Chains A and B, each alone.
Chain A
């Protein structure tokens, strides 16, 4: 199931904090869809360390990051 998070209007480091909080609660088969206004490079190092997999794409000037538990199949919505 998809969990959604919009961090576009938040000042650093709040977006990172919110994403990490949401990931703590993320069920094994769920994925997180984050709407961001830029590519969050600092986040990737943390995701790798926390054993998550991610996929980033740009849609209408918005950065969409899908994050799911490593070892699980990517969400179908990624296409």
Chain B
């Protein structure tokens, strides 16, 4: 139960007050835009690297460039998008603001930005100092974010039903970063790491399946019922699924020290669970009453199809690079882009609506959500993006000139994404200015 404005009277009549964010507490909209724009710039760099050094990237997943590109996606793109979205969405959707949000988000953003640049240059140029400085900055950024998010949830007093799932996902970044730093020590000869390949697989599992996988699905479970009016996926099913995935990741990690077929096979179970979760989301979308195929929903659906394809290719045989592209490019880029295209216009609209109320300018006609990112622009980006993913996969199977071509299409797709986010921001600024006049 919640009671606003005249809280004293409400307490007197026995109504309990819960959180409701004041307009002043809502983080400025520049914050998520800064994170999203930086993410799109990293995406452009990936495309450029494919154009310049494409052939080298796909020689094996162990090449410095392949490692660099993997981290450009996970740290350069995903970490920016996921932290930026969380900082903004926690207050708006759950009523729990991040403390000192402007300062904290600035530190996190700069640490993630410089950390990603240093880490990736460390990989590509085999530069020890860059690698460790980057890893250190990233560890600091994640630590600060985790503490800030925890304080915000605890202080708001909200027992949000998605907090457990999101919390588990963000907790998975801890072993991912810790193992990552240990691997970097092994790579640079500071420590002697036994079975580097197995430990890398564990690092990758915590990062991609634990952190990205759980946070992404928890976010999808949170946002799909809100934005596409589907039935809620029961909370206990989500909690159990994510807790099992987390436990299986621990078992898989133990396979590094205890030789056990059961521990090793836990990875298969995790993939199966994600497939089940994906099918659950597809079913919820299929059962919704208003069956409009919104372009943002098409991004999410395509991401889920890429997940199924990745699982099939993984089961069929030894095609690590293709599985990697399907997972990182197909799932981990496509679904967040769809979510961003839905969330940005809503945030723009909400901030303008709040400003309108505050300025008492009720005669001013607010633009619709489509004004910020039109369907036409999102659709063009969709075709470029999906085309780029398929071209990258084709260039792995048939190496040659198509590698550079796939890089060109990927770059165009990323530039289009950058343009869409930037134009949405500029459109917001214009409307905001008009409301202040």
On A, residues with C-beta under 8 Å from B are 8-13, 16, 20, 24, 37-39, 41-42, 44-57, 70-71, 73-74, 78
Question: B93 interface residue, CB < 8 Å from A?
Answer: yes
B92 touches A13 (CB 8 A): no
B6 touches A44 (CB 8 A): no
Tell me, rounded to whole Å, the shortest Cβ–Cβ distance linking B158 to chain A.
9
> Which chain B positions have C-beta within 8 A of A53?
3-6, 9-10
B226 touches A38 (CB 8 A): yes
CA distance A64 to B226 in the complex (A): 16
B21 touches A50 (CB 8 A): no
Question: B268 interface residue, CB < 8 Å from A?
Answer: no
CA distance A37 to B358 in the complex (A): 27
Q: List 21 A-B contacts (CB under 8 A).
A: A9-B289, A10-B229, A11-B227, A11-B290, A16-B353, A20-B353, A24-B362, A38-B225, A39-B2, A41-B93, A42-B350, A44-B21, A44-B95, A46-B353, A49-B354, A51-B5, A52-B4, A52-B5, A53-B3, A54-B2, A54-B3
> Which chain B positions have C-beta within 8 A of A47?
4-5, 20
Q: Which listed residue, B1, B20, B225, B232, touches A44 by the CB 8 Å rule?
A: B20
B6 touches A37 (CB 8 A): no
CA distance A24 to B227 in the complex (A): 25
A8, A12, A52 pick with most chain B CB within 10 angstroms: A12
Interface residues of B in 1-21 (CB under 8 A from A): 1-6, 9-10, 13, 15, 18-21
Tell me, rounded to whole Å, the shortest Cβ–Cβ distance linking A72 to chain B.
9
Tell me, rounded to whole Å, the shortest Cβ–Cβ distance linking A55 to chain B.
5
CA distance A56 to B94 in the complex (A): 15
CA distance A40 to B418 in the complex (A): 31
Interface residues of B in 157-209 (CB under 8 A from A): none
> Which chain A positions have C-beta within 8 A of B225?
37-38
Q: Which listed residue, A49, A51, A52, touches B23 by the CB 8 Å rule?
A: A49
Tell me, rounded to whole Å, the shortest Cβ–Cβ distance linking B25 to chain A.
8
Given contacts A8-B229, A11-B229, A47-B5, list 7 more A-B pairs with CB under 8 A: A9-B229, A10-B229, A13-B353, A24-B362, A52-B5, A56-B18, A74-B10
Question: B52 interface residue, CB < 8 Å from A?
Answer: no
Question: B65 interface residue, CB < 8 Å from A?
Answer: no
> Which chain B positions have C-beta within 8 A of A42?
21, 92-93, 350
Known: A11-B229, A41-B93, A49-B357. A70 touches B10 (CB 8 A): no
> Which chain B positions have C-beta within 8 A of A74?
9-10, 13, 15
Q: Which listed residue, B15, B23, B229, B290, touches A45 by the CB 8 Å rule?
A: B23
B15 touches A78 (CB 8 A): yes
> Which chain A positions have C-beta within 8 A of B346?
12-13
> Which chain A positions have C-beta within 8 A of B416?
none
CA distance A24 to B357 in the complex (A): 11
Tell me, rounded to whole Å, the shortest Cβ–Cβ distance linking B131 to chain A.
42
> Which chain A positions have C-beta within 8 A of B26?
45
8 smallest beta-carbon distances between A and B, as pairs: A44-B20, A41-B95, A56-B2, A70-B5, A53-B5, A54-B4, A45-B23, A49-B357
Q: Which listed residue, A9, A56, A71, touches B290 by the CB 8 Å rule?
A: A9
Known: A56-B2, A70-B6. A41 touches B92 (CB 8 A): yes
Chain A residue at minimal CB-CB distance from B156: A41
Question: B314 interface residue, CB < 8 Å from A?
Answer: no
> Which chain A positions have C-beta within 8 A of B103?
none
Tell me, rounded to whole Å, the shortest Cβ–Cβ distance linking B420 to chain A.
19
Contact with A along B114-149 (1 / 0, CB 8 A): 000000000000000000000000000000000000
CA distance A16 to B368 in the complex (A): 13
Question: B340 interface residue, CB < 8 Å from A?
Answer: no
> Which chain B positions have C-beta within 8 A of A57?
1
A56 touches B1 (CB 8 A): yes
Interface residues of B in 330-387 (CB under 8 A from A): 346, 349-350, 353-354, 357-358, 362, 369
B228 touches A11 (CB 8 A): yes
